[in-house]
Amino acid sequence: MMGHTDGRATDDAFNQESVATSARTTYICAKILSEHLQKTARRLPHEESRKLIEGLTYTSAIPVSDSNERDGESHDPQAEDQGTVGTALSDSQPMWSSHPSLLGGLSEQNVKRFGASSLRLTPRCQEQLAHELKDTLLSVTDFISDLKAGPNGLEAASQVPDRIRAQRESLERERKLSEMYQEHISQLVSEINQIHPRLEEDLIEALSVLPSILNEPRTAEADLLSITIEASLIKLSLIRTRTHVALYGHSSPSRPNATMSRALATAAERLRAKQRTQEEEERELDGQLAAYDGMLSLVGGKDGSFAQVVEDMARVKRETEECRKDLRRLGWTGD
């Protein structure tokens, strides 16, 4: 039942939209024709212009009934001529379609009976009107196609309605497509709104359950790693002990008491004795240097002639040794 009601409502809306579109189209056509007739009147001689303007004035006063009323009424033969201004504009003013008479009690028959004697366009007026319509159509063609009207301007102009109709159909298809996409998006949004609470509950449950499940293998891995590190430290300690025993506990098969530790202790003792000897020699050299400095101070110090003689002797001795080294490199084998 709801489906049938919605279908009838949709059909009624579509019919109303079609009627409104048709009325709007008729009104626009009449408006365009009226404006071109006014332009034509301005270009005609005074007498013809006056008649045309008078005819437009009478025609604008004629109301338009709907199709049923026009079929049932008797029309004036003068207004039924196909080439008259009244016939051209009578179908273009739906504003009075629901009123059988004008203001002041005038009806359509009164206006037609007591109005102008003839509303038929003269050949010259028709030619001028055709020229005005042609210029307008060509200007519309130039505006739409963005090209200047050439030899085939009229042919291109005749295709303008088809092009406009095609563009309108394309826009209508795009509108329906956008409406379909909008409906699909709305459906997706509603589905998401329905799914969101359930997903939130699943997430909360997962956050409460998964951490404990994930922490168990992590804890086991951490324990395994710590045990591995402890075992490695024990191995290193064992290797250190073995190395110490192998190094310091080594002994000769012929002399079991001659171990590496004793050899190292003996070597350390000898190094300490050598260090003591070097310290005694250093003290002796310091005494000799002090005596030498004392003697230098007696003969003029470091800047005296004796110090200069000693420095020259040392330099001569050093240069002599360098010359001997050079001669030996050159092959000299003497003293």
Distance from C-alpha of 158 to C-alpha of 150, rounded to nearest angstrom: 14
Q: Name beta bridge partners: 259.
A: 251
- Give, as one character, the DSSP assignment of residue 302: G
The token pair at 158 is 């005749």
Q: Given this model, what pLDDT does residue 84 score?
A: 41
- For 109, residues 6+ apart whose C-beta sits below 8 A from its C-beta are 76
Distance from C-alpha of 61 to C-alpha of 96, rounded to nearest angstrom: 10
Distance from C-alpha of 224 to C-alpha of 230, rounded to nearest angstrom: 10
pLDDT tens digits, one per residue of 231-243: 999 999 999 998 8
Q: Given this model, what pLDDT does residue 325 score?
A: 87
Q: Given this model, what pLDDT does residue 71 score?
A: 39
Q: Given this model, what pLDDT does residue 86 score?
A: 43
Distance from C-alpha of 128 to C-alpha of 53, rounded to nearest angstrom: 15
Q: Given this model, what pLDDT does residue 280 score?
A: 94
Q: Tokens 């029309």 sit at which residue? A: 75
The token pair at 151 is 């030899």
Q: Given this model, what pLDDT does residue 99 score?
A: 40
Say how many C-beta atoms besides its own lie within 10 A of residue 46's C-beta.
7
Please identify every stretch of the chain with a pLDDT value under 50, giving residue numbers as ranges.
1-4, 61-104, 147, 149
Distance from C-alpha of 69 to C-alpha of 65, rounded to nearest angstrom: 6
| Half-sphere exposure at residue 303, Cβ-oriented, CA atoms within 13 angstroms | 0
Q: Given this model, what pLDDT does residue 333 score?
A: 72
Q: Given this model, what pLDDT does residue 259 score?
A: 76
Q: Given this model, what pLDDT does residue 63 score?
A: 42
Say how many C-beta atoms besides its own lie within 10 A of residue 59's C-beta.
26
Q: Given this model, what pLDDT does residue 157 score?
A: 63
Helices (H), the chain: 2-43, 46-60, 67-72, 85-90, 108-114, 123-145, 153-158, 160-248, 260-298, 305-330
CA triplet 200, 202, 207: central angle to 5 degrees?
A: 95
Cβ pair 39, 51 in contact under 8 A: no
Stretch (H or E) spanning 115: none
